[in-house]
Chains A and B, each alone.
Chain A
Amino acid sequence: MRLTHFSAAALAAIACTSMVMFATPKPPAGGGTVTGKVTYTGTPAKMKPIDMSKEPTCAKQHATPVMTQNVTTGPGNTLQWVVVYISAGDQGSTAPSQAVKYEQKGCEYLPHVLPLQVSQQLQIFNDDQTSHNIHPLAKVNPEWNKSQPAGSPPIDTKYEKAEFIPVKCNIHPWMHGYFVVLNTSHYSVTGEDGSFSLTGLPPGKYTLTAWQEQYGTQTQEVTIAGNESKSVNFSFKALPY
């Protein structure tokens, strides 16, 4: 079972034309599992179509306008792009050797939210026929800003401290994404159906945190004994703005 979960529907929804292989931390054999759904109550703000006409090479890659993604909802009031992770109770783990990949394609960030571990290699690609500048607005980690013209090799980097880092391209102001740098290897991003799944948890008491870029974080306690599976759901109160 994959820890980072991307449903085909989610990929379709973001109009991705090429599959991206995301690095997946290897689950330890056995252990408990926490699954659940993230939903909202109330009325969230409507996402708006993005006007990419100032960048024709990107605009023509999208048959229908791309929507903003800061509150991405699915049927049944589910919330996509929520990162659910163990914020306390994890015994700690070293970063996997595989790099996580982050793509700029069609003037979008793929994926919109990228979780990764502290010290894990991060590769940033530009698949577009235009220059991007990749500008992660880190506060805890050093803030850098690099140009990546069309055809450039990937930028290799990593972060040494846990942080939610907004990523933007100043040239294309509609491009927004997040690096979610975590101290744990137990994390999952909700798909379009709002579901997440954390596996391979050793027995113990954990604090589970769900983070949504606009609505912030929520936490719940969960205790795992043996190989049991537990269900934990999160519900965010949506704000109409």
Chain B
Amino acid sequence: MISSKFVATFALGSIALLTFGAAPATAQSHVNSPDPLLGAPSVNTEESHIGTLTGHAEEGKHLYRRYCIGCHGPDGDGNGMNAQWIDPKPRDFTEATFKCRSTPTGTLPTDQDLYNAITRGFINTNMPSWKPLTEQQRADLVAFIKTWSPRWAKEKPGDVLVIPAEPPVTIESILHGRELFQKLECWKCHGPAGHGDGPSAATLTDSKDNPIRPYNFSTGTRFKCGATNQDIYRIFMTGVDGTPMPSFHDTLTGNDPWDLVHFLRTLQISYPSKELDLWQGYVASHGKDIKPIGPDSAAGAQ
């Protein structure tokens, strides 16, 4: 039914077109010309390693220009032309300070950390999830981002936080987590009920002196650095660098971090979890024994 002449013509036309397209492709496949919009060094040999993928900065540069430059800027310093209208401000890559790390506070994150951040995006910010990009493209971007600071050439990422297996969620674990929340004074910023309205909340600024809000557990479902219990564990153990949120790695030992994780879940009243169920059951039966969190509370005194 479909004539062979048609097939032949179509094939010929396609070949002509491919040749037309492929000619510049051959000539330009390794475009090494300095990218006109970018102030970065013209040749980047930085690599990233994500699992079996190797990202290349030279490729990432073109992707950065396509996707990132509007906010993070031609110089990678977070001063893109739209940065002034954005809150929270875009990351300044020249400082190599990153919020979401599996490594200790003050150290460089791993390639995987950066890859995860690009893939996940940052909830409640203008940074979307770049999962629609291919894995290779995201790996290339990670490699390129590392060219903005000389720290990457001189330092190695810190040691990755080892997260032990999660113990069972019990009311004891939640109660202990609640004591920690009181004792570590999480509530000073996050508020006694996790509404992000603690006494210091209004004064908080990030490391660039821009006002910043503590996380409001009651309306949030996801966190800036992930959504799982492991992510919560990692967030407070490594800290959110560049923000007022410190690392609790030197402070919490044993199962303490997991207890805190379990308690924090109970503050997420709009996010169903077994921790929340258990806690609400406990409040129903033991409500009168629960001391409120806040100044002069005995909640942390045990």
Contact = CB atoms under 8 A, between A and B. Distances in A.
Residues of B in contact with A, size category: 20 to 34
A118 to B, nearest CB: 15
B94 to A, nearest CB: 10
B169 interface: no
B244 A135 contact: yes
Contacts of A153: 250
A148 interface: yes
Given A143-B207, A145-B239, A146-B239, A171 B188 contact: yes
Interface string A168-197: 001111000000000000000000000000
Given A56-B295, A139-B95, A142-B107, A149 B241 contact: no
B105 A145 contact: yes
Contacts, number: 86
Interface in B242-256: 242-251
Contact of B248 (A54, A137, A144, A147): A147
A54 to B, nearest CB: 5
A143 B243 CA distance: 10
Contacts of B204: 170, 173
A148 to B, nearest CB: 7
A133 interface: yes
Interface string B252-282: 0000000000000000000000000000000
A152 B200 contact: no
B234 to A, nearest CB: 15
Contact of B246 (A139, A146, A172): A146
Contact of B200 (A54, A135, A148, A155): A54
B241 A171 contact: no
Contacts of B245: 145, 170
Residues of A in contact with B, size category: 20 to 34
A171 B251 contact: no
Nearest to A54: B199
A33 interface: no
B28 interface: no
B107 A171 contact: no
Contact of B184 (A134, A144, A147, A173): A147
A130 B241 contact: no
B247 A146 contact: yes
Interface string A100-119: 00000000000000000000
Contacts of A142: 97, 106-107, 151, 155
A68 to B, nearest CB: 14
B45 interface: no
Interface in B91-108: 95, 97, 104-107
Contact of A143 (B188, B189, B199, B241): B241
A145 B244 contact: yes
Contacts of B295: 56
Contacts of A146: 105, 239, 246-250
A145 B189 contact: no
7 tightest A-B CB contacts, nearest first: A144-B106, A170-B244, A173-B203, A133-B246, A131-B185, A142-B106, A144-B105
Interface of B: 95, 97, 104-107, 151, 155, 183-185, 188-189, 199-200, 203-204, 207, 239-251, 295-296
5 contacts: A133-B246, A143-B95, A144-B105, A144-B106, A170-B244
Given A143-B207, A144-B239, A171-B244, 17 more contacts: A131-B184, A143-B106, A143-B242, A144-B105, A145-B106, A146-B248, A147-B184, A147-B239, A147-B247, A149-B183, A150-B183, A152-B251, A155-B250, A170-B204, A171-B189, A173-B203, A173-B204
